[in-house]
Amino acid sequence: MKVTLIAKTQLEWLETSIDSLTQMEVVTPYRPHYGNDLSEIGPLGSHLDELAEFSGRIDYESFGRPNPQTATNKGYVANIIDKQHFSVLEHASATFYIDGVSRNFTHELIRHRHLSFSEVSQRYVDVSEFEFVIHPGLEDIDPIEIHTVLSPAKSVYRTIMDALTKKGVPRKQARQAARHVLPSGLETKILVTGNMRAWRELLPKRLSPTADKEFQLVAQKILVELKKIAPNTFQDFDGD
């Protein structure tokens, strides 16, 4: 199982030079917390956290940061979380590539409808060489015993594919028929994008001890990456 951060929102005026930073301050009333030293961007905060504050301050035009408790980005975003004004978290997003997971997992993942998905298609891809994902709940079971039960399914898949293609059935149609004998524990790969509000909605449900164990492990890995790129947006979640 592997979760890889592929893309995240960046603030345009913090990506190039001091000149562009100064120009953005002319165009908008928002002043980043980074000051005028771009070398401070890394240790002081994240583009995603800044965007959350920027969007929130537009509502009230509180760009002067008059309240000491919300004058820092961490304090401001903490107030957003406390008040649950999560609409301002919808402007920034993160994309993850997740592989080595089961189709059982992705069947649950796609229930989070505010996320966007692109998954390996079993209609277009020959998945006969894909691995079986051993669920964490099966860790005490001998893997050989599990594969003894599951491997015949892939053998039947190949047999059906061969039989249908010999009859002249196009490969896509053959695969979409043959896939019905495959177990839902077969490996898949998926690209998933969500804004920060969508990720905050997913995490409490899937980090819960009552969630499926495979999903819990994926959610833990996602949280680790999100806390790196938006530490203030996820400051109320435990985990490194």
Catalytic residue numbers, as ranges: 206
Torsion angles phi and psi, residue 95, rounded to 5: -120, 135
d(CA 184, CA 150): 10
CA torsion sign for 40, 45, 46, 51 is negative
Which long-range contacts does 104-109 make (Cβ < 8 Å, 24+ apart)? 104/135, 104/184, 104/185, 104/212, 104/214, 105/133, 105/188, 105/212, 105/214, 105/215, 105/218, 106/188, 106/190, 107/184, 108/212, 108/215, 109/190, 109/192, 109/215, 109/218
37: which 2 tokens? 């030293």
